[in-house]
């Protein structure tokens, strides 16, 4: 029996992971489930899967969680430190599906115990790619990609050598506004940005898909995970979201990965790796689909992609600054404090300010320095946004 933990169990990826685990109850023993605000879901899943420990990120909800678990014998814990400790609980396979930079510390702890970390939390790689991969290497741990594009690349690379890879192409649906006139984007509402044309995901990643910040994070994730030069990473708009990624080899061959828009494929691949097992996902009928479309992204529509290139050229803690500024700008957009198109301007301004702040981006990549860069970026983002409001 494999011991499994799911971080971010109450979210979209977490629930899809539990759906797969529920289909083979005798194969898995659930150690830890974590969540945030959704205590009812967390407690009911902890009971259903007989978890040892349930953790909410919100300390103020500890009492609610404790009460919801009363009589079950399941341990309850709350807060950032408890989440980090949850990462240190022994488990063979851990799903990292907390949203945002908050997923980094528990993921690092999981790697320190030599576990297999199925990484949906792309923000960890953007914020601290080198630290994460070095920690995995030092402790004999494994990091498996769960983002659909990176899982696709990973699968296309089975049996191949990285030095034969010429380029990696990740596709993007173009998000909710791909066909909107450019001049209308500034007036886009949170509700409109939260409706993805193809994927059913958490709200934050859905809005990031509309702004293409999600793809910007994924380009950086590609560089960090596969160790490929940024110039050899391409983005292709593919409205159908059926081809997830392509790998181009030095003999000119392109290997594409296709599948329906169902994250249970990528999650299931990571869960069963290195084997393949039957998965409850629909099969593609290409004859019925008939046509697939591709086009180059328009950088005027998607400034986030240009910013990702700048971050990769800068390296160091620029990824931590970029991600934190993006999270702060996204919070402000969701709260109705700034417009949709203002988000990229805020992130760009924070990156420029960070560059001027004595060696902050050049500091060694430790968890403390990353936290400091993240904290500073959020403060600078607030300053930039209060300037916008004035």
The residues that touch ligand NDP, with contacts defined as CB under 6 A, are: 8-14, 35-38, 57, 83, 97-100, 102, 120-123, 147, 199, 201-202, 204-205, 263
Looking at the Cβ atoms of 5 and 12, the one nearer to ligand NDP is 12
Looking at the Cβ atoms of 54 and 349, the one nearer to ligand NDP is 54
- In the complex, what is the shortest distance from the CB of residue 355 to ligand NDP, in angstroms, rounded to a whole number? 26
Looking at the Cβ atoms of 106 and 353, the one nearer to ligand NDP is 106
Spell out where 194-239 has E strands: 233-237
- In the complex, what is the shortest distance from the CB of residue 350 to ligand NDP, in angstroms, rounded to a whole number? 20
How many CA atoms lie less than 13 Å away from 341 in the CB half-sphere? 13
| Residue 118 · residue 96 · CB < 8 Å | yes
Looking at the Cβ atoms of 68 and 349, the one nearer to ligand NDP is 68
- In the complex, what is the shortest distance from the CB of residue 390 to ligand NDP, in angstroms, rounded to a whole number? 29
Distance CA 190, CA 304 (A): 18
A 10 A CB-CB count for 40 gives: 13
Q: b or e along 82-109 (b: 16 or more beta carbons within 10 Å of the residue's beta carbon)?
A: bbbbbbebebbbbbbbbbbbbbbbbbbb
- In the complex, what is the shortest distance from the CB of residue 138 to ligand NDP, in angstroms, rounded to a whole number? 24
| Residue 29 · residue 4 · CB < 8 Å | yes
Distance CA 367, CA 339 (A): 32
Looking at the Cβ atoms of 97 and 343, the one nearer to ligand NDP is 97
Looking at the Cβ atoms of 72 and 194, the one nearer to ligand NDP is 194
Looking at the Cβ atoms of 104 and 349, the one nearer to ligand NDP is 104
* Residue whose beta carbon is closest to ligand NDP: 11
- In the complex, what is the shortest distance from the CB of residue 211 to ligand NDP, in angstroms, rounded to a whole number? 13
| Residue 185 · residue 177 · CB < 8 Å | yes
- In the complex, what is the shortest distance from the CB of residue 149 to ligand NDP, in angstroms, rounded to a whole number? 8
- In the complex, what is the shortest distance from the CB of residue 32 to ligand NDP, in angstroms, rounded to a whole number? 12
Q: b or e along 138-176 (b: 16 or more beta carbons within 10 Å of the residue's beta carbon)?
A: eeebebbbbbbbbbbbbbbbeeeeeeebebbbbbbbbbb
Length of the chain, in residues: 390
Q: 371: Cβ–Cβ under 8 A, 6 or more apart, which residues?
A: none
């Amino acid at each position: 029996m494999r011991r499994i933990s799911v971080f971010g169990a109450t979210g979209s990826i977490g629930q899809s992971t539990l759906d797969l685990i529920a289909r083979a109850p005798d194969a898995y023993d659930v150690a830890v489930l974590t969540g945030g605000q959704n205590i009812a879901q967390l407690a009911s899943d902890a009971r259903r899967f007989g978890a040892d420990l349930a953790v909410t990120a919100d300390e103020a909800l500890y009492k609610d969680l404790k009460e919801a678990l009363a009589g079950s014998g399941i341990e309850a814990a709350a807060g950032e430190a408890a989440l980090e400790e949850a990462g240190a609980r022994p488990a063979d396979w851990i799903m990292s599906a907390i949203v945002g930079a908050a997923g980094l510390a528990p993921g690092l702890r999981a790697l320190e115990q030599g576990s297999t970390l199925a990484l949906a939390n792309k923000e960890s790689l953007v914020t601290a790619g080198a630290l994460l991969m070095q920690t995995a290497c030092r402790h004999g741990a494994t990091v498996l990609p769960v983002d659909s594009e990176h899982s696709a690349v990973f699968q296309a690379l089975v049996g191949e050598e990285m030095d034969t890879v010429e380029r990696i192409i990740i596709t993007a649906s173009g998000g909710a506004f791909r066909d909107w006139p450019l001049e209308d984007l500034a007036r886009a509402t949170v509700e409109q940005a939260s409706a993805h044309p193809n994927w059913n995901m958490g709200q934050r990643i859905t809005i990031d898909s509309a702004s293409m910040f999600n793809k910007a994070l994924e380009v950086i994730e590609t560089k960090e995970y596969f160790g490929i030069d940024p110039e050899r990473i391409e983005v292709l708009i593919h409205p159908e979201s059926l081809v997830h990624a392509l790998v181009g080899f030095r003999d000119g061959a392109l290997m594409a990965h296709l599948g329906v828009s169902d994250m249970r494929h990528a999650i299931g691949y990571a869960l069963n790796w290195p084997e393949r097992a039957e998965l409850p996902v629909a099969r593609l009928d290409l004859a019925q689909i008939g046509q697939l479309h591709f086009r180059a992204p328009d950088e005027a529509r998607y400034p986030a992609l240009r910013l990702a290139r700048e971050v990769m050229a800068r390296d160091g803690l620029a990824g931590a600054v970029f991600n934190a500024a993006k999270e702060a700008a996204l919070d402000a957009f969701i709260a109705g404090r700034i417009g949709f198109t203002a988000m990229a301007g805020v992130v760009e301004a924070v990156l420029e300010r960070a560059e001027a702040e004595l060696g902050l981006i050049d500091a060694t990549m430790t968890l403390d320095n990353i936290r400091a860069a993240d904290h500073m970026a959020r403060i600078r983002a607030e300053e930039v946004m209060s300037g916008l409001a004035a």
